[in-house]
Amino acid sequence: MYTMASRANMEYKFCQANTRWMVSFMLACKKTKYPYLLSFFLLIIVWSGTASSRGFSIDQIEARLDEQSIQVDGNLTLNLTEDVRKALSKSIPLQLNMEFVLNRVRNYYYDKEVAVWTVPIVISYRPVSDEYVVSRPDLLNQQETFDNQNAALERLGVFNNLSLPLPEPLIEGKRYILEARVKLDLGQLPAMMRPLAYFSSSWHLNSKWTEWPLNR
């Protein structure tokens, strides 16, 4: 199902997850011979990871109003790092979250946040059949299969008629902007992999927020 929350809440959950692992690691560092050196090394890793926006980008978004929803078409560039590609080829499923924020433009004040959506998309590998699967958990696991990883990623980067339900009617005559971002959801990785992923810059794959006009 679609997850609707504020944009600030999305950012808070991401920071909260990073902070949990950081605190646990630093407590462990206190018991070692060189706690300050290890803590400094940890901070460098976390900083480099959270500051990275390489790998993913949103190339095009077309958003249009359709009665009680917004229909979105888009093209993404999804370049996985070598570490992430290897994990995927070893049957570690990856969940990508498409995040959207609808804002009403206000001339003399901050834009008004109207709605927020998170759309999950999962890519996984089935070694028995030697195929990659792209699925949408919010659509009862609607699936498509592909012969190789690149073909699956290429399909993952194109979406049409993605429907975002509106919580309330839009105001006639007002201008609206749709913000969009795609990110790898580290919280959906197997528990044993999360510490490595949170502390490694190669796993922090996020696009920048981009803005697109809403067509009526």
**Residue 193 counted as domain residue:** yes
Q: Do 83 and 55 form a contact (C-beta atoms < 8 A)?
A: no
Q: Is 156 left (phi over 0), alpha (psi -120 to 50) or beta?
A: alpha
pLDDT in tens, 64-113: 998 889 999 999 999 999 999 999 999 999 999 999 999 999 988 889 99
**Residue 1 counted as domain residue:** no
Cα of 78 vs its chain's centroid, Å: 11
**Residue 26 counted as domain residue:** yes
Identify any residues that bridge with 126 across adjacent strands, giving them in sequence order.
131
The mean pLDDT of the chain is 83
Which run of H or E residues covers position 104?
Answer: strand 94-104
Residue 126 clears pLDDT 60, i.e. is over it:
yes
Residue 165 clears pLDDT 90, i.e. is over it:
yes
Residue 59 clears pLDDT 60, i.e. is over it:
yes
- Local confidence band at 138 (pLDDT 50, 70, 90 cut-offs): confident
- Which structure tokens are listed for 57? 């980008």
pLDDT value at residue 137? 77
- Which structure tokens are listed for 187? 């919280």
Query: Any idea what DSSP says for residue 132?
Result: E
**Residue 168 counted as domain residue:** yes
Please give the tally of structural domains in the chain.
1
The residue count of the chain comes to 216
Q: Which domain holds residue 21?
A: 7-215
pLDDT value at residue 49? 44
**Residue 68 counted as domain residue:** yes
DSSP, collapsed to helix, strand or coil, labels residue 79 as coil
- Local confidence band at 136 (pLDDT 50, 70, 90 cut-offs): confident
**Residue 2 counted as domain residue:** no
Measured between alpha carbons, how far is residue 138 from residues 6, 64, 97, 176 in Å? Answer: 19, 21, 11, 25
- Higher pLDDT: 15 or 74? It is 74
